[in-house]
Amino acid sequence: MKKDLVSISDLSGAEIGELFRTVKDIKDQSRGLLGRSKYNDAVKGRTLVLVFEKPSLRTRASFSVAWAQMGGHTIYLAPEDIGLGKRESVQDVAHNLSRWVEVIAARTFKHSTIEELAHHSSIPVINALSDQEHPCQALGDFMTIKEILGTIKGIKLAFIGDGNNVCNSLMLTAARLGTNMWIAGPKGYAPKKKYVDLAKKAAKNSSASIIITEDPKKAVEDADAVYTDVWYSMGQEKEKTARKKAFKPFQVNSKLLSKAKPNAMILHCLPAHRGEEITDNVLDGPNSVVLHQAENRMHVQKALLYRILRK
């Protein structure tokens, strides 16, 4: 495993498998199944800094709790604390933090900011979300699928909605783990060619398939899992009206899900815009695993931090 996690492309399928085995071990030990957890003091006396340009519930809490449960201390730096690239250059921020803390988890607008932090930092940098990728989310999601279905390889995962950062990371993960992923969205909102090409290249080694369509019914047909996300994210507020109109036929509701397998799991990275990309009865329904996903973000990040610091 590399020093940094900037992209899912930094991980091989084998490394993701090893990460998931560590997650299982962490969860088993946290339940007392294997005696006192060896992870309790794994980062004692060490500090994780959260450098966030965007507000957060799950990312901030899950990283903070994961680090604390391993005995470490967390510092949260809000946008006004640093002013990345404005008040102080990204390069200088990376150099300074490298002298004080052990790990940086950054949540930024531009993906290039994460890349620049990693380039100039002598300590590990983890992408906690950028405009192009959300690797920790995708890893938590696939861990959830594995726990519930018992397998990842060969299943059909349908992603309905915008070809955004979450979609990109899901594609790259699916391609490495042998998952057949269908992505359905309106014309003009498909994932960028760069990420489709990267995913399809990786898929050749795992026998996965990555299929892009504008037909949500076809994407969901016989799917084992159906995933959706908001139609517009932070920074896209000006596009709200146009996006709501374009994505309206792509709402994940009971009618659309009648095409999927009867017990198809429902995934959403949250926060959700209820009544837009997903209906209440689906989000809160018996097949929804959104809270399982949210919990697994913490466990996956704990495993990721543990493995990176052991290198």
Q: Are 90 and 35 in contact (CB under 8 A)?
A: no
Angstrom distance (rounded) from CA 11 to CA 114? 16
Q: Could you confirm whether 141 is annotated as catalytic?
A: no
Q: Could you confirm whether 297 is annotated as catalytic?
A: yes
Segment holding 56, helix H or strand E: none
Of the residues 269, 293, 299, 301, only one is catalytic, namely: 269
Q: Could you confirm whether 167 is annotated as catalytic?
A: no
Q: Could you confirm whether 229 is annotated as catalytic?
A: yes
Q: Could you confirm whether 134 is annotated as catalytic?
A: yes
- CB neighbour list of residue 125: distance below 8 Å, 6 or more residues apart: 3, 4, 5, 6, 94, 103, 104, 105, 106, 114, 117, 118
Q: Could you confirm whether 269 is annotated as catalytic?
A: yes
Give 265's DSSP letter: E
Per DSSP bridges, beta strands 156-160 and 180-184 are parallel
Angstrom distance (rounded) from CA 102 to CA 231? 36
Of the residues 58, 111, 134, 176, only one is catalytic, namely: 134
Segment holding 269, helix H or strand E: none
Angstrom distance (rounded) from CA 300 to CA 308? 12
| Cα dist from 308 to 41, 95, 143, whole Å | 15, 19, 18
Q: Could you identify the residue written with the tokens 């890349």?
A: 115
Of the residues 69, 132, 137, 301, only one is catalytic, namely: 137
| Cα dist from 215 to 107, 218, 219, whole Å | 32, 5, 6
Catalytic center residues: 107, 134, 137, 229, 269, 297
